[in-house]
Structure 1
Amino acid sequence: MKITLNEDVLADNNSAAAFLRDEFIKSKTLVINLMSSPGAGKTTLLERTIQELANDYKIGVIEGDLATEIDADRIRAAGARAVQINTNGGCHLDARMVAKTIPNFNLEEIDILFIENVGNLVCPSGYDLGQKHKVAILSVPEGNDKIPKYPVMFRRTELVLLNKIDLLPYLNFDVDTAIKDLKGINPHSKLMNISATTGEGVEAWVSWIKEAYETR
């Protein structure tokens, strides 16, 4: 049985994303959509990133979780404005959810807006949030199978941050294999080694953000 779809099922989302993109361009706000599986270290990395950027940039964060404001509270404690979105079971953020948070920010006063998506390697990759850049975080404890098993996520991101590299001596993870797998799926993507805990590699990540801001 063949089903023909006459309308784009993501039309409403894409319309909201187009609206957001226009707003971000007008306000000259750099927007980065961070995606990963749960526990990969998105919030810890954001805390350190905020510390590194706070003297030069005004930063806002949209936090996506199924429930609680735990991560948003951590971001506020790090010194950035944060707005929480609780999806109440939804596995991703969509552009309409993000659009509803915008009145909580004065975009003219936000240089960089991070969207910390719901922890999931499947659903978030398919939804445009009006962002300029999509960045995926993969952590060493997750193992080498995640890139080939979840190709859509890694095909749609331009940068992969390999987090928790301080654990490489203790776990069976091969960085060269990860690079090879990523290039096989997305030749234009780049893998960057970091440790949000120790700070190793964070300088390169911060430099990437600064360059993205200058070319936004």
Structure 2
Amino acid sequence: MPERTINLEQPILSRNEQLAAELRARFAQTGTYVVNVLSSPGSGKSSTILATNERLRDRFGLRCAVIEGDIASDVDAQLMKEAGMPAIQINTGGLCHLEGNMIRQAVDALDEAIGLDAIDVIFIENVGNLVCPVDFDLGENLCVMILSVPEGDDKPLKYPGIFQHAGALLLNKIDVAPAFDFDRAGYNRVLDDLNPRAPRFEVSATKGEGMDAWSEWLAGQVETARA
């Protein structure tokens, strides 16, 4: 029997693109803005979402919910619920990214619980990974890439795809920058080549530095999408 190679990647991605288009149409119908948050583990995705939610809620009157993606546990979802955010947990069981079918199920659960039209912004906290999530459209309006200072300024060189893909770039934990050898000028020079159009924000989610500017920009994106 002759040797054969079966490529499963294309059918999987094609199916995901179809689901993403359906999700995007659904979000547009209810006026729900969706933010796909990408980063490596430990960059501060959860703390950034919590701090952003606080500002969007209190300053702009926006109602936010979150879909949490993790390999295991519901620690982050419980944290979001304690802060008053509706949260749905997705456990991937080892898969290193979220896919459209997972988001559809989570959105169905949110819709059943509170109604999708009652949510202005959904944050999707993707699985911590700098490679795989880039390949899977989730129907989002915006992809945000968060890098934390302790991870090092070389990450855009090592993982260019995720930085090129992002619609906004956040450098988190700048409050601890004096303790790390992080070359901000070099980091920004690389981003100038990879993704000069995406706005950049330097923030400390836990200390609040830079979070007002980031949240104001995001609120403006929500308003623009509605218009």
TM-score normalised according to structure 2 size:
0.91
Aligned residues of 1:50 and 1:79 also touching (Cα < 8 A): no
Using the TM superposition, give the Cα deviation of residue 60 of structure 1 relative to its aligned residue in structure 2, in angstroms.
0.8
1 CA distance for matches of 2:30 and 2:184?
38
Aligned residues of 1:147 and 1:154 also touching (Cα < 8 A): yes
Using the TM superposition, give the Cα deviation of residue 65 of structure 1 relative to its aligned residue in structure 2, in angstroms.
0.2
Residue matched to 2:52: 49
Percent identity reads: 44
Q: Quick one: which amino acid aligns to residue 180 of structure 1? A: R
Q: 1:166 to 1:155 in 2, by over 3 A?
A: same
State yes or no: 1:175 paired with 2:184: yes
Structure 2, unaligned runs of 5 or more:
none
**Which of 24, 29, 35 is matched with 2:27 structurally?**
24
Residue matched to 1:37: 40
Residue matched to 2:224: 215
Residue matched to 1:139: 148
Runs of 4+ with >2 A deviation: 2-9
State yes or no: 1:62 paired with 2:29: no
State yes or no: 1:162 paired with 2:167: no
Using the TM superposition, give the Cα deviation of residue 187 of structure 1 relative to its aligned residue in structure 2, in angstroms.
2.0
Residue matched to 2:85: 80
Residue matched to 2:97: 92
**Which of 91, 115, 124 is matched with 2:124 structurally?**
115
Higher helix share: 2
1 CA distance for matches of 2:51 and 2:9?
46
Residue matched to 2:107: 102
Size of the aligned set, in residue pairs, is 216
Q: Quick one: which amino acid aligns to residue 53 of structure 1? A: L
| RMSD across aligned positions (CA) | 1.8
Structure 1, unaligned runs of 5 or more:
none
2 CA distance for matches of 1:36 and 1:170?
21
